[in-house]
Amino acid sequence: MEFCPTKLAGVFEVRIERKVDERGFFARTWCQEEFTAKGLSSRIVQCSVSFNDRRGTLRGMHYQVEPHEECKLVRCTRGTIHDVVLDLRLDSPTFKQWTAVLLGADARNMVYVPKGCAHGFLTLEADTEVFYQISEFYKPESARGIRWNDPEFQIEWPDKVEVISERDRTYPNFK
């Protein structure tokens, strides 16, 4: 795997390294040793999938607080998404900054989201599926969110938001 740093400290685009032959290719999408060697969390306790019927579906910006902060490895297994990570770590040099990575089934790339960062995405195609590997169990009492269009962050979304949950639409301003 290739770990490509983004502009946010500790956030990486992870690309597969294909071993091609006459059958197609083989590639590793997870290796505990490689993540540990990079200083990244290699703990996975839960995997989840998100299926989205419509283009323009926005999910996010979600995170969990202590003691259940989570790291995520996110991959789009069908379709394409505009994936966004927002740094909420007070001690981070990139606090309150965001980055976006285009994730797609054809690219087979992933985003590593460290603890203390919010995560969300916008589907760019109908029938899009997103797969998450998560370091902590989901705990509703620790679940939090940042509104997708909070003026404090000025996240740029590449397309119109057509579908969004009431919860995601009504998170309070960060301030």
> Tens of pLDDT along 67-79?
999 999 999 999 9
The CATH code of the domain that includes 95 is 2.60.120.10
For residue 175, tell me if it sits in a domain. no
Sequence-ordered list of residues with C-beta below 8 angstroms from that of 170, at least 6 positions apart, any chain: 147
- Counting the structural domains of the chain, the total is 1
C-alpha–C-alpha distance, residues 159 and 16, integer Å: 27
Mark whether 171 is an active-site residue. Answer: no
Sequence-ordered list of residues with C-beta below 8 angstroms from that of 155, at least 6 positions apart, any chain: 61, 84, 86, 98, 100, 148, 149
Give the tens place of pLDDT for each residue, 159-172.
999 999 999 999 98
For residue 83, tell me if it sits in a domain. yes
Contact 82, 159 (CB under 8 A): yes
pLDDT value of residue 106: 96
For residue 64, tell me if it sits in a domain. yes
The residue among 140, 111, 152, 105 whose CA lies nearest residue 125 is 105
C-alpha–C-alpha distance, residues 9 and 71, integer Å: 14
For residue 28, tell me if it sits in a domain. yes
Mark whether 62 is an active-site residue. Answer: yes
Q: Choose the catalytic residue: 63, 112, 132, 171.
A: 132
Q: At residue 98, does pLDDT exceed 90?
A: yes
Q: At residue 175, does pLDDT exceed 90?
A: no
The four Cα atoms 92, 98, 102, 108 give a dihedral, to 10 degrees, of 20
Give the tens place of pLDDT for each residue, 30-39.
999 999 999 9
For residue 91, tell me if it sits in a domain. yes
Residue span of the structural domain in which 111 resides: 2-169
Q: Choose the catalytic residue: 62, 112, 119, 171.
A: 62
